Amino acid sequence: MEKLAIETQVEEVAQQAGSLLRSRYALWILASISFVESALPVPFITDPFLIAYIIADRKVAYKAVLVTLFASVLGGVCAYILAFSFYEFIANNYLSGITGEQFTSIIEKLREGTFIMTILGAVTPIPYTLVAYGVGFIKGSLFLFILASILGRGFRYALVGFLTYICGQRAVDLIRKKFIAISVFTIVIAIIYFVFKLMQ
């Protein structure tokens, strides 16, 4: 059976970055990875690094989860601010075909879904960075974005951290199964919500 990406990444991280994740700079490295993943559209996720770090030293699992959460939310806020700042430029150059009223109406409806949009990106495999850019672009509430980011990312990393602490390497399979179920449920709820809002 072909391994899923997260399983392969955990093995690669353990082999290639194992020594770094055991060094005194490990938490800084983990924080940097988490920040970059949230702030920029990079082709990796933080979870495998968090798992590998906790497996390397389970005693600091709680600290690793908190550092990862803080850095991730901070990176998300940076992505939000970047998109918020370039709103006018993007709107004028790439969305000029949409009339003012149509565009404003769509933006207003999406803006009302700031919290659920952020939860969607924070918990599911949908890239959190893209959601952060999207919420910033539509000028969604920064307070709701941060709140949803803390709750969503906190839930995700706490679950990863707890399962890894308890089960070690075997946690990868448990995490995959639980995230599939949670992601499907969250995405279905979000789709229903946005279809309902756009039809109003």
- Residue 193 CA neighbour count, 13 Å, CB half: 17
For the entire predicted model, the pTM comes to: 0.78
Q: How many domains does the chain have?
A: 1
pLDDT (tens place) for every residue of the chain, 200 residues total:
334 455 555 555 545 555 666 667 788 989 999 999 999 988 888 888 888 888 877 888 899 999 999 999 999 999 999 998 887 676 666 665 555 566 667 677 778 888 988 988 888 878 899 999 999 988 899 999 999 999 999 999 998 888 888 887 776 666 666 666 666 666 666 666 556 655 65
Which residue segment(s) compose the domain that 78 sits in? 5-199
Neighbouring C-beta atoms of residue 188, cutoff 10 Å: 10
- How much is the pLDDT for 1? 38
- How much is the pLDDT for 3? 42
Answer for the pair 113, 193: CB distance below 8 angstroms, yes or no: yes
